[in-house]
A and B are shown apart, each in its own frame.
Chain A
Amino acid sequence: MSNTSHEVAQGPHHTSGAAPTALSAHSIDKKFPGVLANDSVDFDVRAGEVHTLLGENGAGKSTLAAVLCGLYQPDAGYLIRNGKRINLSSPRAGLQHGIAMVHQHFRLVDRFTVSENVILGSRDLPYRLIRREIDEKVAAVAESYGLPIDPEAIVGTLSVGQRQRVEIVKALYQGAEILLLDEPTAVLVPSEVEKLFENVHAMTAAGKSIVFISHKLGEVVEISDRITVLRNGRVTGHVSGRGTTDTKELARLMVGRDIELNSQRATHAMGHEVLQIRDLSLDVDDVAVLTDISFNVRAGEMVGIAGVAGNGQRELADTIAGLISPTSGSITISGAMTTDRGPIAAREVGLAYVPEDRLGVGLVPSMSIIDNLLLTRNRQTVVDRFSVRPEATRLIEQFEIKANGPDHLARKLSGGNAQKVLLARELSGGRTATRLLVVCSPTRGLDVGAIETVRRILNDARSAGQAILLISEDLDEVLSLSDRVLVLYRGAVVHEALGEAAELSQVGAAMAGLSSQSH
């Protein structure tokens, strides 16, 4: 593998800005058992700029971010903050130097108000808290960066985008000058992303430095002043300038080869209706999670369900798979009613289900590939692993799974290979031949190479005449793969479009609940 750090465009030294370097990292090494997560990585961010760390999952960007904010201590290398060498023994030490991280998974207390969350962990609080003063102070900080937020709101009632704002306000309140945003757009709808980018501009205008961590090329090009690309723990390129960047070149730096993600929709014949859902409703604790959902999926058709996380996608998938009993309505798979019959009955008429959580739901982490193949199949009283072995070996080959054979433990597989094992098991049938595949977020967290393979597998399954229900938060994925797109918002289908005719803006608006079309 080439380890030459190579520069595109103008190289790392910006010509326009004379802004001083706020934080720099020099030849950072960080080892984990078996992996060199960071291999002499150099990185720097100036005041008032957005410097992006771009890379696939496992490229080492989160590790570097963790080193920058004091969560990890590097094995070699050092940090310079405002011209002085610093040692960060903890995130608190990082905060004292004005460095704060906004994590992908929020670290907020749901029952607390916004203000209470913001001051949580502050050391210099007065003995007696005067709520009104704190609320005012929090509101003032928020507003100065164009982050309007109600300090008295209970965090548990806020939307995901608002919670992220609370995290950012918290960092700013604590005096952060350098904010590390870890995959901040992963959980947001398009309109919220726009809003976030406005906030980022407001912060850089005020002289804050933003380290933006992402693997999404489009948004990276839009927001960044500079981009550093990481692959396998090494810096593979620096790219400067906003909007002028060649995304193909970035993708190549990221992956190390040319890639083609826009899988073409094959034209194909569709057969009879495999999945029929009629007036499906689900209440959980008297709260409507799914309301009056009706749709069909035909053999050889891929129907995509778009929507922001938490709008009923998981419950819809679980209900179809027989894991949850609906409050009303019916589910028919291959002509057989499976409502209320449980997961095994659904599988017996050809259901296959790839859940969102691979390890821990779809796969048993501590078990071998063989044992995981047995999970959804008929098992004899004395489990016969010997006869499954040849099939396991064949599937490992067919699905290009990187494993040391059928005894490889599921938890030691990479995310992509775990997903391939899951798809291999579900598509190869067990109790009966697979007719309907329900698949949730199939490529989330995978590297680009694995995404390519997984999408190809799904396309092949559709061409083979299987009905596929694709549920994903990745809107691009849903739009590029599906024959038909449904948008789920607050548990109801609020928008429907044919794959080719679906417009990003309309689907995006429907996801955010701004749809004019109502059911």
Chain B
Amino acid sequence: MMHIPFRVVFEQRGETPRRLSLIVPLVSVLAALFFGALFLLATGYSVFDTYTNMFKGGFASFNGITDTLALSTVLICTGVSAAFAFQMNLYNIGGEGQLYLGLIGGAWAGIALGDHLPSLIMVPILLICGALAGAAWIFVPALVRSRLGTSEIVSTLLLTYIGASLIKHVIYTPGSFFRNPNTSFPQGRRVADSASLDSFGSSRLYPTFFVAVVVAGALYWVVKRTEFGYRINVISDSPRAAHYAGINSRRTTMMVMSISGALSGLAGAMLIVGPYGKIEPSIITLGYGYAGIVVAALARNNLAVIIISGILFSGLRVGGNNLQVTTDTPIHIGVMLQGAILLFALGGEAFRRYHIHIVRTQTQPNIKMSA
């Protein structure tokens, strides 16, 4: 048998050293950029130009940074949606579908209420209707999860496909309430003017960005400081301790999942009061809900850190998409770099959780026994 002179040992860390929490993500990003550079060299594109263009397109230009913040508005909401459920070890994979319902709920209020109320009332109503629709979409998964223990991973995910069909249905069915009656081409009917916000100056950034930031911060506080958050922490750490203390896990599960669904719905409604103004059926190709799961994972489900990871991830996406506009680099290069950075960032987790060392396996000489 071949003798391998060493082996790699993964030893779980009892406690992650603080400095690693900073160093690991940094090194991960550098490693991803290095990996991307190899790829760019192999395909014949300039490493330096591609990276500077990406950075400029995502962060270091007026359009870049405002587009990034605009996208992060949605991704912070869907990110908080995924992470909030995860506070109780619940996996809401269906943020995508709840976001579609948020779009429908928001558009419904915006069309049905007409142009009678001031924006200051109208916009919150749309956002609330979107959130309620998102919460309604997760109601059945939450119910069967809390009562019967049915996996919420499967049920929320499958409902996403139904949600996508619903979007197509309300837009492509002739005579649909949500469809623009004045064109033969299928498109969404616009909501009332009072339900539409104005963007900042010439940008595509809407004030809803601040709502998203406040929501993330508020939920962070709820989990850390309130009785409700305390219950969530007890249940997620040890369900049996919760039972022992008389904490009602079922009700808490229902509430946490409903809030999670509402947050994704809120993201959808924000698109209605912001950039869309109507249901855009192309939403089902954008994957904002799924991206929220990635944003949450990057923030290690820390609700406050999601504000940062949401912006960074959005910048990566905006900058990557910008590549093909400003240069002749195909969009796939940008997508590949996004993927590489995510992969390395998440892979870096292993270094935080495990102490990895290489052990020499020497062949030991036999020792004679002394009597």
A contact set with B: CB distance below 8 Å: 33-34, 78, 80, 83-85, 87, 321-323, 342-344, 347, 353, 355, 357, 359-367, 371, 374-376, 379-383
Contact = CB atoms under 8 A, between A and B. Distances in A.
A342 B228 CA distance: 20
Contacts of A359: 238
Contact of A360 (B225, B238, B364, B366): B238
A236 B262 CA distance: 63
Given A379-B227, A379-B230, A380-B227, A353 B14 contact: no
B48 interface: no
A347 B246 contact: yes
A145 B364 CA distance: 37
A380 B230 CA distance: 11
Contacts of B227: 379-383
B238 A364 contact: yes
Interface of B: 13-14, 225-230, 233-234, 237-238, 240-241, 243-246, 364, 366-367, 369
User: Which residue among B14, B230, B233, B367 has the maximum number of chain A CB atoms within 10 Å of its CB?
Assistant: B230
19 contacts: A33-B14, A80-B367, A87-B364, A322-B246, A323-B244, A343-B246, A344-B246, A359-B238, A361-B238, A362-B241, A364-B237, A365-B238, A367-B233, A367-B237, A375-B241, A375-B245, A379-B227, A381-B228, A383-B229
A374 B247 CA distance: 12
B226 A85 contact: no
Nearest to B248: A342
Classify the secondary structure of A's interface with B: loop
A497 B246 CA distance: 34
Contacts of B226: 381-383
B241 A360 contact: yes
A360 B243 CA distance: 11
User: Which residue among B14, B225, B241 has the maximum number of chain A CB atoms within 10 Å of its CB?
Assistant: B241
A322 B245 CA distance: 10
Contacts of B238: 359-361, 364-365
A372 B74 CA distance: 37
A362 B225 contact: no
B189 to A, nearest CB: 42
Contacts of A321: 244
A85 B364 CA distance: 9
A364 B244 CA distance: 11
A371 B241 contact: no
Nearest first, the 7 closest Cβ-Cβ pairs linking A and B are: A343-B246, A344-B246, A83-B369, A360-B238, A379-B227, A361-B240, A366-B237
B244 A362 contact: yes
A272 to B, nearest CB: 26
Nearest to B222: A382
Contacts of A380: 227
A2 B202 CA distance: 78
A383 B237 contact: no
B245 A85 contact: no
B360 to A, nearest CB: 13
Nearest to B9: A73
Contacts of A363: 241
A273 to B, nearest CB: 25
Given A85-B367, A343-B244, A365 B14 contact: no
A85 B366 contact: yes
Contacts of A379: 227, 230
Contacts of B245: 343, 375-376
Contacts of A323: 243-244
A324 to B, nearest CB: 10
Contacts of B14: 33-34
Given A85-B364, A382-B225, A342 B246 contact: yes
Contacts of A78: 364, 367
Contacts of B228: 381
